[in-house]
Structure 1
Amino acid sequence: MTTGETFDCRVAFADELRALARDDERIVAVCNDSVGSSNLGGFAEEFPDRLINVGIAEQDMVGVAAGLAGGGYVPFVCGASPFLTGRALEQIKADLAYSNAHVVLCGMSPGMAYGPLGPTHHSIEDLAWLRAIAGMTIVVPADPVQTRGAVRWALDHAGPVFLRIGRFKVPQVMPDGEPFQIGRAGTLVEGDDVTIVAAGTLVSRAVEAAARLRASGIRARVLNMATIKPLDEAAVLAAATQTRGIVTAEEATVYGGLGGAVAEFVVQHAPVPMRLLGVPGVFAPTGETEFLLEHFGLTAEGIAAAARDLTGHHRG
């Protein structure tokens, strides 16, 4: 389902975290001078003793979270994704993943959500470098329903998790109350001509692309791949064997993220034509997020065009 209304998933995240914290005293929030941008104002007001603001010190932030996890707490570490993942990558690897610490990393405003602030604030590499770390679970919710479900799931997961929480507003695509299942892709549109595998902000655009393709006689399957790691290999295998090709779409570099994960599996198990949509190995320019998505063809029409090209259907 899609609705006309759009939502900031950071709000859904913050509301769910606060609701869970009322019943679970283990939950603490750790941030890097990002109370406002992480929507933690309500949490700070309700639980002033359970919010730790380390200032602009991301390495310390992750280290503090590892210590809190060792003491029996469940830290939700909130910060702008480019700095949380880029500046603290060594601590994420050594203090969290290697130690299998129960810490939830919440990468806020990922992708190109900070568009006007330029390449230093674009977080298009986070999926790639975190996917390379053993033991990391990577979740990219598509809408507020899935965001709330992922927060609930992460609270009970034993190891480290990266939740990529979007700032760019998106419509609801999942039914109310839909349970979150790790490693399971959601089939939003059925089709047997081509498969579109999308994550996060691109899922609703993939659904719209499928509608455009259907109007021209192409039946596109749409998979909401909210879990980048572990990947739903069964769904990918079905796409590769039941449709003529796969298009992946993500608000990230095409190297090493969703497209890379799907391609790595496909080439080893069921080679099929693919198109990988994202940022093509360049620094994204400065500009509004909508402009940047259009610039890289990350729109409904851009996704539809890639599917037409893959299947040999071209507009005259």
Structure 2
Amino acid sequence: MTDPRTRFADTAVDLVDRDPDTALVYAEIGGQFFGGAAARHPDRVVNVGIREQLLVNVGAGMSLAGMFPIVHTFAPFLVERAYEQIKLGFGHQDVDGLLVSTGGSVDMSTTGRTHQTDADVALIDAIPGVAIHVPGTAAEVEAVMRAAHRRRGRHYVRVTAQQNSATFDAADGQLHIVRPGSSNLVILAVGPVLDAALAAAAEIAHTEGVEATVCYTATVRPLDTDGLSRALAHNTSGKHPDVVLVEPYLAGTSAHVVSSALLDRPHRLLSLGHGRAERRLYGTPEQHLQVSGLDAAGVARSVRALIRAHAA
């Protein structure tokens, strides 16, 4: 299976090679991928060094000058460290660009809290007009990048090492119904948590007799609310829908969007993701997912509790 980070780098270089109006700005991170492109396009492939605020400002300046910048570094450095620059340089000045992070959530769990972020999507969501993509495979990384480059506008792409087993057409931002069900339960998986959601749905069907509809999206802003309505239409139980939102970052990040989409019907919403308590122990990505309840067993445990609370 192709590494998503390598796929990002290959796609970014290809876009720079093909389009003279596209630039690539990075802050040391990822430099091993960009040497050839920098030699070919020294005026459009720029390494600013370990200066993340400058990284974003240079990208925004290039956009003001009429270019389309791809701005890249690790997620905590790009979003949390340079948040003011994103807010003002891109958001306030209303310019286009493609911000691409790697290493979000548990990817760099063994390096400690400095290299972890669960809040990046929530922070970017507070900046108006930014499309947010959370691809679940390397192929989806390329698809959302090329679509963003074609459409222009402001985009944040969150690239992680964790991948799903299957790739979906992510270019149009639509929600996909992966596992049709017949109950009132809908599980909405975002990005690389789909495999865990599907495994949890299979266990719930076996142990609780509840056939959940599992849907998937690689784009959370804007969320395909029409697609969510189509997923809810599989409910033949006559009960109000139960929606379980599974996101690979801070729990509840997209809860307000889902709730707004369901204003016309009574529903229950369970938001799963990483908690707000700081993880102070080093561990593998798999251990962090288990602690956060984002592995298959954890998702199944949370869904089962929701079903049984409703039945009580």
The sequence identity of aligned pairs, in percent, is 29
Corresponding residue for residue 3 of structure 1: none
Corresponding residue for residue 238 of structure 2: none
Question: Runs of 5+ in structure 2 lacking a partner?
Answer: 236-240
| 1:173 counterpart (157, 162, 166) | 166
Normalised to the residue count of structure 1, the TM-score between the two structures is 0.87
Corresponding residue for residue 123 of structure 2: 129
- Kept in 2, the 8 Å contact 1:254–1:278? The answer is yes
**What pairs up with 1:279-290 in 2 under 5 angstroms?**
279-285=274-280, 286-290=282-286
Corresponding residue for residue 297 of structure 1: 293
For the pair 1:191 / 2:188, whether they are aligned, the reply is no
Corresponding residue for residue 200 of structure 2: 209
Corresponding residue for residue 30 of structure 1: 25
Normalised to the residue count of structure 2, the TM-score between the two structures is 0.88
Corresponding residue for residue 119 of structure 1: 113
Structure 2 distance, partners of 1:179, 1:298, is 22
Superposition deviation, residue 240 in structure 1: 5.1
Superposition deviation, residue 44 in structure 1: 4.0
Q: SS of the residue aligned with 2:113?
A: coil
Q: Which amino acid aligns with 1:34?
A: I
- Kept in 2, the 8 Å contact 1:246–1:275? The answer is yes
**What pairs up with 1:16-95 in 2 under 5 angstroms?**
16-36=11-31, 39-41=33-35, 43-44=37-38, 47-95=41-89
49 and 83 in structure 1: CA distance in 2 versus 1, 3 angstrom threshold: same
Structure 1 distance, partners of 2:74, 2:193, is 20
Q: Which amino acid aligns with 1:53?
A: N
Question: Runs of 5+ in structure 1 lacking a partner?
Answer: 1-5
Superposition deviation, residue 289 in structure 1: 1.0
195 and 211 in structure 1: CA distance in 2 versus 1, 3 angstrom threshold: same
Q: SS of the residue aligned with 1:269?
A: coil
Structure 1 distance, partners of 2:230, 2:164, is 27
Q: SS of the residue aligned with 2:115?
A: coil
- Kept in 2, the 8 Å contact 1:111–1:124? The answer is yes
TM-superposition CA deviations, 1:227-253 (whole Å, max 9, x none): 111111223344456543111112211
| 1:269 counterpart (253, 260, 264) | 264
| 1:221 counterpart (213, 221, 232) | 213
TM-superposition CA deviations, 1:127-146 (whole Å, max 9, x none): 11111111111111111221
Structure 1 distance, partners of 2:40, 2:286, is 35
> Paired residues, what number?
302
TM-superposition CA deviations, 1:143-178 (whole Å, max 9, x none): 122111101011022321111111x23244225xx3
Larger RCO: Structure 1 or Structure 2 (Cα < 8 Å, ≥ 6 residues apart)?
1
